[in-house]
Every structure is written in structure tokens, then in C-alpha cells.
Structure 1
Amino acid sequence: MQYEGVLNKMHTELLNPIQYYLVFDQAFIHLNQVIKKNIEIQHIGYQCLNCKKEKKIFRQGFCYDCFMKSPAAGDWIMRPELSTAHLGIADRDLVYEQKVQLQPHIVYLAVASDLKIGVTRKTQVPTRWIDQGASFAIAVSEVPNRYLAGVTEVALKKHYTDKTNWRKMLQNQILDVDLNAAVKEVEPLLPAEIIPYYQQTNHEIFQLNYPVEKYPTTLNSLNLEKNPTFSGKLIGIKGQYLLFENGTVFNVRSYEGYKVHLNIL
């Protein structure tokens, strides 16, 4: 089976295990069904996810011009404490920023490798946790906008990491954490204005299981710029990574906007 299209992050469905789909304009691949099969990936070009022009990708699936101008690539995306839509102040496009920032957000604890703190829109639960390869996650506080989520995250980053060790995550080296106890330990660390939201939040533990036949013991990250053609046997999927039998791992999200030809044998 042969496919051609522009890479975007894999779509997911919360089942046991997680179901993964690679979606192109004219077709999609249910990736769970091709585990144990050989896949050939060939990099054949670029297409910016924003302007759709065939320009080299700079970051996050955008060409340089779009990354510098699009409201979807503003600094507040990575640093939610910089959000200003609640004040009626635009960064790049106030209408877009109000739509995204002025909605419920979740501050959470997740275990993908170590215990980490993070922020996501409520509508992205549990998608955000799946994309990070979290095995367990729990909401700390639901707040009404992105700014308050960012303020909370900044306070908690003094005590928790906000990064996932992708190597540990892909080798399934998961810290053993009592999330019920961990979320209780968070309360005295919260800003005073966040505590009422924390007390009203449902602290339910999510457990996420991934379609992995065998976790790799050694890892080699596929770089399509250096190696535009790769072939290997798919043995699992976790986070936004494809795992191959020879230890090669491919971060699909890192190559958003790359045009590829796929051959499934």
C-alpha cells in the first residue's frame, strides 16, 4: 500500500490500547493495523501547514514567515503566562487569541517518564497526555483561561519539571508515583487565587495504554533531513513516536509540514 501526503501530528482515539491514525488530504492510515509490518518513509518535499506553500519548514509545521506572523505560533503557546486576551490586549490577532485563551484550561500532573507539570485546554484532554506519551495523568486545577493556567504552572515549575524525558518515555522507564498523594501535595504550592479552582476540580486519574509490541533498549532518532529515506518494521506507537524494530524512533510531530511518500509492505 502506497500513500503520499503532508505529515501532521497523528490523530488519536482513547481506547485500550490508544488508536492512532495518520491523516492525509486524500487518505488515512489506521496505524495500529500496520504494526508488525515494514514501512518505508521517503521525504519528498515541504508544505507549510498555515499558508500551504511549498516552502521549507522552519518550526512547528510553519515556514519562517508564518511562524513569525501566525497567531498560532505566538510566544503564549509555549508560555501560557504570557497570555493577554483576558485583558483585551492582542499579541498577533486578538480574535484568534480570545477564542483559544478564553476557554477552560487544565493544569495537570502527568507521568510519561518523571512526574511533570503541564497545561492544556480542557477540550484537549486526554489528547495532550496521549501526545506526550503519558502513562498516567491527573488534573490539578481547572481554570477559566490560559493566563491563570500559566500563572499556576509557573508557580509549580519551581517544584516539578515541565519536560518529558523522551528516551525514558520510549523505553517505558516510568517513575512509580502515587498521583492521589501527589495532587494533595500540590495545594500548598498554589497561588492563593487558584486554590478555589483546585478545590472544585475533579482529581481523577487517567491511565493510558499504548500499542507497543516491545519497547526498545537502544534508541536512534530518525532525521529526515539527514536520512530522507528509511525502511523498518513498526513495533509500536507511543506519544507522537513511531517505534521500529531496529531501535529507530520517528517523532511524527517534529516533521509536521514535511511531504512524504509511505510504502507499507
Structure 2
Amino acid sequence: MKYQGVLTKMQTEFLEPIQYYLVFENDFINVNQLLNKTITMEFVGYQCLSCGLNKEIYRQGFCKSCFFDAPQAGEWIMRPELSTAHLGKEDRDLAYEKEVQLQPHIVYLANSSNVKVGVTRKTQVPTRWIDQGAHEAIEIVEVPNRYLAGITEVALKDQVSDKTNWRKMLKNEIEDADLAEWQQKLKDFIPEEVKNYFIDNSTETHLEFPVSKYPEKPKSLNIKKEQSYTGKLVGVKGQYFIFEDDTVFNIRANEGLVVSITVI
């Protein structure tokens, strides 16, 4: 069976284990059904997630011109503290920025390779934690806009990491942490204007990933360079395919690439 389409972040269902779906324009794959099967992936071309043209992808699934012009690639996406829609100030498209920024956001702790702090829209819980390969997570504050979430994350980054070690996450080198204890410990470092949004009695969420074999020495697949790769899929964690030979493939990092997938 053969599928072809442009790669976008896998869609997920929060079940035990998590269900993963690759969604193409005219088809979709329940990736869990490919586990323990041999597949071939081939690089076909590009399709910018904004303009849709066959132009080389620059970053985040966008061609170079769209990356610097499209509202979906504004700097506030990666740095929420730069959000300005609450002030009525436009970055690239105020209507879009209001829609995304002026809605409830969560600042959370997630444990994937280590305890880290992060920001997501409330509607993206627990999707964001799944995408990061976190096996447990907890909410710290719920605020009404992205800016307040951003300044909270900046304040807490001095106390706890904001990065995931992707190799440790994929190797499943995890240490259970008492996230509720961490949440209370960080309470004093929350900015004054956010303190009233602190979530008391927040509970941990636990996540189970569909992996039968974790890689000992993960090596990242560059499908553009290799053009083609064949391997047995033994797991999915975060937004990564994990293959039996320790090869891993980051779907999120390859958004905008057109690939064909053949199930052998």
C-alpha cells in the first residue's frame, strides 16, 4: 500500500496508548497500524504550508518568503512574551493575532527528558505534551492571553529548563518527578500580575506512547539528503518515528516536505 502527501504535524488522540495519524490531502494513515511493519519513505518535493508552492522549505514548514511574511510564522509563536494583540498592536496580521493570542493559555511543566516549562493554548492540552514526548505534565497557571503566559514562562526559565533533550526523550531515559511539588516550588517566581491565575490542586496527567523498542543511539534521518529510507517502524513518540535500527525521523521538523510512504 502506498500513500503520498505533504508532511504536517501528526494529529493525535489521547488514548492508552496515544493514537497517531498522518493526514494528507486525500488520505490519512493511522500510524499505530504501521507499527512492527517495514515501510519505505521517499522524498518527492516541497509544498509550503502557507503559499502551497513547490519551493524549498526554509523553517517550520514555510518557504523563505512566507516564513518572513506569514502571520503563522511571527516571532511571537516561538516567543510568546512578544505578543502584542492585547495592546491592539499588529505584528503581521492583527485579526489573526487576536484570534490566536487573545484566548486562554496554559503555562505548564512537562517531563520528557527532564522537567521543563512551556506555554500552549488551552485548546492544545494535552496535544502539546504529546508532541513533546512528555510522559507526565501538570498545569501551573491559566491566563486569558498569550502575553501573560509568555512573561510567566520567561520568569520561570530562570528556575527550570525550557528545552527538551530529544535524544534522552527518545531513549526513554526518564526520571519521575513530583510535578505538583515543582508547581508549588515555582509559585513564588510567577510575575505579580499573573499570581491570581495560579491553579491550586492541579493534578498530573500521564501519557503512554506506542513504542515496542526504544533506540539506544538515536540517529536522525535526513530524508532530503538520503532521498529514500526503508526500515521497520517500532514506535512513535513525540512527533518522531522510531525504527528498529535506531533511526528516528522527526515529522514536525520536516513539515512541508512531500513524501511517499510504502508499506511493504
TM-score scaled to structure 2, two decimals?
A: 0.99
Shift of residue 216 of structure 1?
Answer: 1.1
Shift of residue 179 of structure 1?
Answer: 1.0
What's the counterpart of residue 130 of structure 1?
A: 130
What's the counterpart of residue 96 of structure 2?
A: 96
1:255 aligns with 2:254: yes
Distance 1:202 1:82 in 2: 30
Q: Which amino acid aligns with 1:182?
A: W
For residues 87-145 of structure 1, give each alpha carbon's deviation from its aligned partner in whole angstroms, at most 9, with x where no partner exists.
00000000000000000000000000110000000000000000000000000000000
Distance 2:81 2:237 in 1: 29
Q: What is the Cα-based RMSD across aligned positions, in Å?
A: 0.8
Q: Check conservation: 1:48, 1:62, Cα contact below 8 A.
A: yes
Question: What secondary structure is seen at the aligned counterpart in 1 of 2:182?
Answer: helix
Distance 1:49 1:154 in 2: 29
Q: Which amino acid aligns with 2:139?
A: A
Distance 1:115 1:76 in 2: 23
What's the counterpart of residue 183 of structure 2?
A: 183
For residues 57-77 of structure 1, give each alpha carbon's deviation from its aligned partner in whole angstroms, at most 9, with x where no partner exists.
111000111101001100100
For residues 218-254 of structure 1, give each alpha carbon's deviation from its aligned partner in whole angstroms, at most 9, with x where no partner exists.
1110011221100000000000000000000000011
Distance 1:57 1:146 in 2: 27
Distance 1:202 1:68 in 2: 42
Can you give the 5+ residue segments of structure 1 that lack an aligned partner in the other structure? none
Distance 2:200 2:104 in 1: 12
Query: % of aligned pairs identical?
Result: 58
Shift of residue 194 of structure 1?
Answer: 1.2
Distance 1:21 1:176 in 2: 28
Please show how residues 222-237 of structure 1 align to structure 2 within 5 Å.
222-237=221-236
Question: What secondary structure is seen at the aligned counterpart in 2 of 1:226?
Answer: helix
What's the counterpart of residue 17 of structure 1?
A: 17
What's the counterpart of residue 196 of structure 2?
A: 196
What's the counterpart of residue 143 of structure 2?
A: 143
Question: What secondary structure is seen at the aligned counterpart in 2 of 1:250?
Answer: strand
Distance 2:4 2:74 in 1: 30
Question: What secondary structure is seen at the aligned counterpart in 1 of 2:108?
Answer: strand
Distance 1:53 1:39 in 2: 27
What's the counterpart of residue 157 of structure 1?
A: 157
Q: Which amino acid aligns with 1:56?
A: E
Question: What secondary structure is seen at the aligned counterpart in 1 of 2:62?
Answer: coil
Shift of residue 201 of structure 1?
Answer: 5.3
For residues 148-184 of structure 1, give each alpha carbon's deviation from its aligned partner in whole angstroms, at most 9, with x where no partner exists.
0001000000111110000000000112211111111
Q: Which moved more, 1:107-116 or 1:221-230?
A: 221-230
Q: Which amino acid aligns with 1:169?
A: M
Distance 1:9 1:193 in 2: 34
Q: Check conservation: 1:139, 1:201, Cα contact below 8 A.
A: no
Can you give the 5+ residue segments of structure 2 that lack an aligned partner in the other structure? none
Distance 2:31 2:136 in 1: 23
What's the counterpart of residue 70 of structure 1?
A: 70
How many corresponding residue pairs?
264
Q: Check conservation: 1:108, 1:141, Cα contact below 8 A.
A: yes
What's the counterpart of residue 40 of structure 2?
A: 40
Distance 2:40 2:223 in 1: 12
Distance 1:75 1:29 in 2: 32
